[in-house]
Structure 1
Amino acid sequence: MSVVDRFRMSGPEVAVFVSGVSSMGLEILAGRVIAPQFGSSIYTWGSIIAVFLAALSLGYHVGGQRAATRATNGRLVWLLLGTAAYVALLIFFGDQLLLSTAVFPLPSRFASLPAVIIMFGPPTYLLGFISPYTAQLSEKEGIGEASGHVYALGTIGSIVGAFGTTFFLIPTLSVTYIYLVLGGVAVLTALYLAWPDSGVSALPAIGVALLLLTATTTGALGYTARGEVVYETQTAYQELEVIDVGDTRTLYLDGQRHSAMDKSDPTRHVFEYTRYFHLPYLFASDPDDIDRVLFIGGGGFSGPKRFAAEYNATVDVAEIDPEVVRVAREYFRADEYDITVHTQGGRQFLQETDNTYDLVVLDAYRRDKVPFQLTTKEFMDLVTDRLSPNGMAVANVISAPSGPASQFYRAEYKTMNASFGRVYAFPTGGAGVVQNIELVATKGQKRVTKEQLRERNQQREIGIDLAAAIGGYTTDVRTDDVPVLRDDRAPVDRLLDAMVGQRYVIEEARPGNETTPTPEGALHFAG
């Protein structure tokens, strides 16, 4: 036997390899598909992993029972085509299925289960049949050798699917085109199986291929109910979309609004909470003392652009996702401002830099995707170490100000209080709803009162009127029932749990009470 013959795979062996690629590819992709509606918490990922394992196990079991009488190349063709056809249906109706499953009255931590089961259970179940069918058709001698060979091929396929989807497909293609690739591979494998078998027609495979192409074309028309899609991609970290509605351009990350820009006035604060980033200029004894500012988390660069345009301060941004930085430059005009960007995680940057800052703005939290390493006391201690003696920090926390959904906000308040001298809270929306809550922390112990802030707001020319923001001033935050978050115990997912399924309200700012200087300078990159 030649070396080529030794490593040549039969049709069924190719099928089991591809089933591994497809099942793991769909599993990795499921996290991106489910996240915009249900978040990407540990509960979401636990549900995805459990459903895929359950569907595969059921397919193995039923397929094993039927393999002795039904295992043929033709049946493998139909299993692959059935998987590809279901993927085409996900391209057509995936968004509607995702939204329809959100109404099930389940505890928040189980809310994503119906969506995962309905969207990914059936194709994974079909793929589960392929391994026992291939073992039955194997030319290997003995059950042990045949089954071991088949499951080795399937596992290698899963490794290829995991690496290929994670490191190539998701950073390169949109969800629709990743579906097309995974479905197309199944169709090509079905054609490979059908080609030498005169008893198996290739027409069904051609029909499914046309269905996939039609679904892909229909699903890429460039418009959603949210507006005109200017740009969309899957980055290494998240789904990213740029969507225009009238003069407002919005950056969506994993389906959630993250930043917005008035295209005719690029430094105007469209979202109310970004106005609160200016509060430290009222807390400072002298606003001119804020010379160096760091933003952790870039998004559409709403805050950094305004600070660079408004103040005589050096502005740095630490943003972990290079695609977000590129999009900020190309679609949100960040390249017109004197901003230095470090493309790395905020904690890593602070650990490695020798810079000292007068203000650190922490804008890397999302409603359901909070990097716990940026929430802990150890991180807050690191922030204080990188601040000047009179330095301050602002944390943009998404939570409710009261009730069960307030646990993360109150835990973060308690954690910052353990590292800073004083912490002040400023809710941006109505009572009881999930919203942006801005925490302002100072190194000094001296308390700044609401009255002092109001007086300074009237006297100081900081380019923005913060009277409405000051009205939400509070230092009376209950923290006896929440933990200080630490590196070895930061139950962020549990604290966020009560917010799942609740409406997140982002207040939009009204034009006015702002000055908008003409931007100068350029965007610099480091790291």
Structure 2
Amino acid sequence: METLRERLPRRLTKPELAVFVSGVASMGLEILAGRIVAPEFGSSIYTWGSIIGVFLAALSLGYYVGGKRAAIRATNERMALLLLATAAYVAALIFAGDLLLSSMSVYPLPARYASLPAITLLFGPPTYLLGFISPYAAELSEKRGVGQVSGHVYALGTIGSIVGAFGTTFVLIPSLSVELIGLVFGVLLVATALAITLPSPSRKPAVAVAVVALLLVGAVGAPSMGYSVNGEIVYQTQTPYQELEVVDRGDTRTLLLDGQRHSAMDLDDPNRHVFEYTRYFHMPYLMTEDVDRVLFVGGGGFTGPKRFVEEYDATVDVVEIDPEVIDAAEQYFGVEESSQLNVHNGDGRQFLEQTEETYDVIVLDAYKRDKVPFEMTTVEFMQLTSDRLSDDGVLVANVISAPSGPASQFYRAEYKTMAQVYPQVYSFSTATPGVVQNIELVATKDDRRLTESDLHERNRQREIGLDLGDEIDTYESPPPTDDVPVLRDDRAPVDSLLEPMAGQRYVVEETTTASDGDGSRERAARVT
């Protein structure tokens, strides 16, 4: 019968502490892996499946090898060295993770497997080392009986994993950068290693603690001098949805979300369209006449909304799901709410379902190359946009895909889906044919289809604040859609449609300012 002493709470033993912390670190690193890998390979189901598979495989191998060695090698000092080796690898990830990631993206693998080598290199070794901790701790446990020992170790490791999952997801990622989260885990591992060797650590683990601590500090300090390959870092944070950076390079300020350039602003001319694709947001003014109210779904750096407010006598609503993006736009991109500009924090589809407003133009700018909210791609959603548009309203969707080839599947499926609701759908490419780029889909309720010549004529006749002649020249013929599905709420295989784009270069064209005799105008010049 269990004694009263055995029932009373007690402090964790050193092996138990090691197991708990290894659980925290392994699950925390697994959650963090998604943020680290996403800028290069996206965050599709294939990326997350690879992350989970690699972590499970590495842990299993660590359990197996550690179990074979535990009987003769398990000591508190060796567990401390394993934790320190893991922390040293974390320091390497902090310092050179981006370099390692890009170097592992060159293997000619099918798109769905492209992330496997990088995930294996970046996260396999530290997870493998953490796998040794549980069998070592079981060997050193004070519990009696194999069942009791194994159950106790499994429970502590699982509790640690729960803490690591919830802590990383709800506390660390919304509050800290990827580098600082890595530092948190590294410091936790070093502190635990030191704790389990006290009160009289031998020389080897004591020196190792000092060395690894210095590595962690150096790894975080080196890139924190305020500069990255993209330019001078003005602001950086982890939001509940993505990693956000504001970077200055020359006279251009850029908003990066999960490492991808999302919006840019000319510091000398804040309302100029820096990215070529944002000029296409004005295309509805050639397809309809009276535009009194406009909705942007997705804010980013608010390039389109700011220009619309400056250029037109129209009320502009913007709905953005990430409050940190709104804050960054207000602080670093000159966004100010007014009687003409209304900013809403929320989900785009929910906003459209709940609003009673009718819009003349709706611009969908919430898609990313690798992260597309499927609920805003379906025929049901397109019908919702149509219901919220006036009789001659226009829908614009900024789709990231390729105009042709294997990487065009998402674009062609979205075109087919929009065509189920809108009588006319037009598409305009923004870069060299065949590469992944921004493709602008424009849908109208008008039964008559406008030709390229019609648009050029309207461009000459109408004063809309900028010349769209070059943009009209990118007018595309309707793409073939027989081999792609109509996207529906109950079946929208967006991940599989995005899969062929994995590992391909995403091309964004920028504009330059050139004099044309009557002042200055924006001119496209490709910058990838």
TM-score normalised according to structure 2 size: 0.94
Q: Structure 2: state its 5+ residue gaps.
A: 521-528
Query: SS in structure 2 opposite 1:424?
Result: strand
* 1:158-177 correspondence to structure 2 within 5 Å: 158-177=161-180
- What is the CA deviation profile of residues 348-407 of structure 1, one whole-angstrom value per residue up to 9, with x for unaligned ones? 111222222111100011111111111111111111111112111000011111111111
Cα pair 2:394 2:443 within 8 Å, conserved? yes
Partner of 2:125: 122
1:220 and 1:465 mapped to 2: Cα distance? 42
- What is the CA deviation profile of residues 256-302 of structure 1, one whole-angstrom value per residue up to 9, with x for unaligned ones? 11100001111100011100000000000x2xx21111101111100
1:225 and 1:197 mapped to 2: Cα distance? 45
Instruction: Output the amino acid matched with 1:151.
Output: Y
* 1:225-244 correspondence to structure 2 within 5 Å: 225-244=229-248
2:319 and 2:401 mapped to 1: Cα distance? 23
Cα pair 1:38 1:111 within 8 Å, conserved? yes
2:194 and 2:498 mapped to 1: Cα distance? 47
Which aligned runs of 4 or more in structure 1 are off by greater than 4 angstroms?
1-5, 197-201, 512-516
- What is the CA deviation profile of residues 285-342 of structure 1, one whole-angstrom value per residue up to 9, with x for unaligned ones? x2xx211111011111000100111111111111111111100011111127642111
- What is the CA deviation profile of residues 186-212 of structure 1, one whole-angstrom value per residue up to 9, with x for unaligned ones? 111111101135557433212211211
* 1:137-148 correspondence to structure 2 within 5 Å: 137-148=140-151
User: Size of the alignment, in residue pairs?
Assistant: 513
Partner of 1:523: none
Cα distance change, pair 138–290 in 1 and its aligned pair in 2 (3 A): same
Cα pair 2:111 2:503 within 8 Å, conserved? yes
Partner of 2:524: none
Give 1:4 shift.
Answer: 9.7
Give 1:228 shift.
Answer: 1.1
Instruction: Output the amino acid matched with 1:279.
Output: M
- What is the CA deviation profile of residues 30-87 of structure 1, one whole-angstrom value per residue up to 9, with x for unaligned ones? 0000111111111111110100000001111111111111111111101111111111
Give 1:511 shift.
Answer: 2.4
Partner of 1:524: none
Partner residue of 2:268 out of 254, 264, 268: 264
Query: SS in structure 2 opposite 1:243?
Result: strand
Cα pair 2:44 2:495 within 8 Å, conserved? yes
Instruction: Output the amino acid matched with 1:85.
Output: A
Give 1:443 shift.
Answer: 1.9
Cα pair 2:337 2:343 within 8 Å, conserved? no
CA RMSD of aligned residues (A): 1.7
Partner of 2:317: 316
Partner residue of 1:25 out of 25, 28, 33: 28
Query: SS in structure 2 opposite 1:318?
Result: strand
Partner of 2:384: 382
Query: SS in structure 2 opposite 1:170?
Result: helix
Cα pair 1:423 1:475 within 8 Å, conserved? no
Give 1:90 shift.
Answer: 1.1
Cα pair 1:350 1:382 within 8 Å, conserved? yes
1:194 matched to 2:197: yes
Give 1:466 shift.
Answer: 0.4
- What is the CA deviation profile of residues 492-527 of structure 1, one whole-angstrom value per residue up to 9, with x for unaligned ones? 1111111122221111123268999xxxxxxxxxxx
TM-score normalised according to structure 1 size: 0.94
Cα pair 2:183 2:220 within 8 Å, conserved? yes
Identity of aligned residues (%): 66
Instruction: Output the amino acid matched with 1:427.
Output: S
Partner of 1:492: 494
Query: SS in structure 2 opposite 1:176?
Result: helix
Partner of 1:520: none
Partner residue of 1:371 out of 370, 373, 396: 373
1:456 and 1:448 mapped to 2: Cα distance? 10
